[in-house]
Structure 1
């Protein structure tokens, strides 16, 4: 009898330890972890530099109220907004909290209530973030949600234009929908979003909770799409497993988030900030980002033959956030891969999502690709 609520469809697997890309369960079995805690451990498990900074910080200070000055928060904030359209940062504990802050800030700054988001988007499970999310399956059973969100089809410019009126405060998007199936923003849709925000004086909010911190081959995924966001939200990879989230905003928004408008008890505490400083130092290094791009291209090349199998419709994504869309449901392949020593996570019913640590070796990429090819091609053989 468990003492835990049953809100997770847990796999019967208990992971006890990890190093780099490899994790080990309680029976001593090893696995290539191509989930990274769902795009969290971008620098791999038990990274020695991160362990070192966390241990050193734990001996100095764990927590102090945000009522006091924080030079270390200032240092991390400066690293996050450097060479970007953003200038100020609010620290919190998770992606959902960052998105809640973004929604509040957009409404307060503009004095308007409506936010446009996309169908199949995922922005979190708190009440506001759940209302923003464009997936009905996560909303079932919770009664009336916030009515101030309009969901438009992803990559459809005409629907976006029709959704804009005088009540709209912001457009909120993921440039790559992670949970929604690893769908990538079209160039034309990106251009239309930017032009509407500029012409109609709307705020542009980009949810980079899954795509940020070099996951897609740039510091932030929006940098690849010619977008100029007013607000960007981060979490997941920012702490490499230590809970931290952040909302980045442009200078025009500074006065709209004054004392008393928003807050958090634990956000930006000393332990989290020390870890995130080291993460950004390592993950934002240009040579590291170049390696992520090279590894992403290498993995796509390895997987390309699957497109000829008849079981794979498309391989898409950027950097080391890739999705393999199957003609049939993805869950059987995910389950079989686990038995073969490869941990994967789906994105919807038909997409296998690949999220290895950004520190993954090419040898590990090749090993994972070989497992996938064997499983998918053997399925094709059995079906025929």
Structure 2
């Protein structure tokens, strides 16, 4: 096939012929990116307001990230876990520093968020109690999403994700999200761990009520259960803080997505000497996790975020975007923190809005029928964001054009 034939249509046909269809038909075939913009195979330009689902923290082709990856690839890309590397050690040190982790805390590197949560699941199982008083239960929240592999899937609430693959690892119970009374009632000395996302991204960017994390910390400590915080989507500056749970000290935290700035890497962080010894030599492992190339990419990502003050930028730009969205008459609610934003529409037409937005040159996501999720690169500018705000009313009208007049708008 010649380069002239490498169009969206032709490449999509090849995709459907050769790739397993677990993702359905791709919306476009993307060919390059720079900053917060990407181009498809037909040369069309888009403002990327999703960043690979909160992954590309520095946008696309950031020069310092590209240099770090290129330099490391020319030096040492992979070693087995029989050996360590300087980037791996430096990255673990930096993560513990940013997390203000107490003495004795440790890091285990993975390749993805679901693998980080698998490691956390095994960590939880190690809090097994005694033969006389065994601990066998793990608590997760309704509307949670922790991944697609079997252990992480067992922690994921959505029945449609879990049912085709049952039986899953047992002992997981779901309790209402944000309900302190429900958590209090469920916690006792049979619970190994509680898994919590500070903001539930797949549920529509739903933030837990103020005080819930602090209450969970107090209650799990009293019950000697582990508190494991899933920061796969919310971590690494996404919410205008390094970590959305930074007001507490969990027993463990999982990271991925933005950590590598586009390179696959995840992490399980254990806090404190006792928790760090729950998984001992030989009880878990990975071939690729924390390899020098992934570690160099992650180190570059963290360094740029710190040097360019992107944490404050995410916080301030997120507030500005929220304020602009709140002024639109078809937006009923705006929620989230920093540059992880969900906004609800007055009709359940988010999928149509995603399609219309793409036609207008914007990449957004619809986690629920009424919610649009924005998780743009942390380098997004206010001027770029303004173009989306300006076009959004037209996008909405295009998406709702076939709806009956009374339900298409609040006007």
Query: Smaller-chain TM-score range?
Result: over 0.9
Aligned residues: 379
Q: Do the aligned residues in 2 keep the contact of 1:18 with 1:45 (CA within 8 Å)?
A: yes
Q: Do the aligned residues in 2 keep the contact of 1:43 with 1:359 (CA within 8 Å)?
A: yes
CA distance in 1, matches of 2:301, 2:48: 19
Q: Do the aligned residues in 1 keep the contact of 2:189 with 2:225 (CA within 8 Å)?
A: no
Q: TM-score, normalised by structure 1?
A: 0.94
Q: CA deviation at 1:165?
A: 2.5
Aligned to 1:262: 284
Q: Equivalences for 1:36-185 in 2 at 5 Å?
A: 36-82=51-97, 83-85=99-101, 87-111=105-129, 112-185=135-208
Structure 2 runs not aligned, ≥5 long: 1-15, 130-134
Q: CA deviation at 1:100?
A: 0.5
Aligned to 2:257: 236
Q: CA deviation at 1:140?
A: 2.8
Q: TM-score, normalised by structure 2?
A: 0.88
CA distance in 2, matches of 1:144, 1:349: 29
CA distance in 2, matches of 1:26, 1:65: 37
CA-atom RMSD, angstroms?
1.7
Q: CA deviation at 1:253?
A: 1.7
Aligned to 1:358: 378
Q: Do the aligned residues in 2 keep the contact of 1:214 with 1:284 (CA within 8 Å)?
A: no
CA distance in 1, matches of 2:41, 2:309: 36
Q: Does 1:188 align with 2:203?
A: no
Instruction: Classify the secondary structure of the residue corresponding to 2:309.
Output: helix
Q: Do the aligned residues in 1 keep the contact of 2:110 with 2:265 (CA within 8 Å)?
A: yes
Structure 1 runs not aligned, ≥5 long: none
Q: Do the aligned residues in 2 keep the contact of 1:302 with 1:369 (CA within 8 Å)?
A: yes
Q: CA deviation at 1:103?
A: 1.1
CA distance in 1, matches of 2:24, 2:370: 17
Aligned to 1:203: 226
C-alpha distance after superposition, 1:198-251 (max 9, x if no partner): 21121110000000110000001112xx22211010011111111111000012
Aligned to 1:321: 340
Q: Do the aligned residues in 1 keep the contact of 2:115 with 2:266 (CA within 8 Å)?
A: yes
| Higher Rg | 2
Instruction: Classify the secondary structure of the residue corresponding to 1:67.
Output: coil
C-alpha distance after superposition, 1:108-166 (max 9, x if no partner): 14443321111111000000000001111211311222221111111111211222122
Q: CA deviation at 1:286?
A: 7.8
CA distance in 2, matches of 1:89, 1:113: 25
CA distance in 1, matches of 2:312, 2:203: 27
Q: Do the aligned residues in 2 keep the contact of 1:85 with 1:230 (CA within 8 Å)?
A: no
